[in-house]
Structure 1
Amino acid sequence: MPQMAPLLWLNLFFMFLIGFLLFFIMNYFMKSPLKMSPSIELKVQQQKTWKW
């Protein structure tokens, strides 16, 4: 039925849009290890001694 074709393209468009948004949201919240390693090294260097 040709009248169902616009609904198919609309569904494909929304699936693409949701996938595209999920891709960018996941890339925003996932940090690379190279960016996180300097902050971890600074925390390790600033350890306090337990004995005075």
Structure 2
Amino acid sequence: MPQMAPLLWLYLYMFFLISFIIFLMVNYFIKPFETIDSNVIGKSSSNYLDWKL
């Protein structure tokens, strides 16, 4: 029936909206990877010689 087409789009829109909100919430609450300490980077790069002009 053609009268049901607007409801189909409404259901698809609501499904997309709810799944997008859930996706954003999951990404917000999951811990990110551990950040690399800048002191560790400085120590490891001290083995290489700096370029001098």
**The structure with more helix, counted as a fraction of residues:** 1
Long gaps (5+) in structure 2: 38-53
Query: What is residue 21 of structure 2 aligned with on the other side?
Result: 21
Unmatched tracts of structure 1, length 5 or more:
39-52
Aligned identity (percent) is 54
- Which runs of structure 1 show a deviation greater than 6 angstroms over 4 or more consecutive aligned residues? none
CA displacement, residues 4-47 of structure 1 (integer Å, 9 cap, x when unaligned): 00000000000000000000000000012314x87xxxxxxxxx
Number of residue pairs aligned between Structure 1 and Structure 2 = 37
CA distance in 2, matches of 1:34, 1:14: 35
Residue 5 of structure 1 corresponds to which residue in structure 2?
5
Give the superposed CA RMSD: 1.7
Q: TM-score, normalised by structure 1?
A: 0.63
Distance, in Å, in 2 between the alignment partners of 1:21 and 1:30 is 14
Q: How does 1:26-41 map to 2 (within 5 A)?
A: 26-35=26-35
Greater radius of gyration (CA): 2
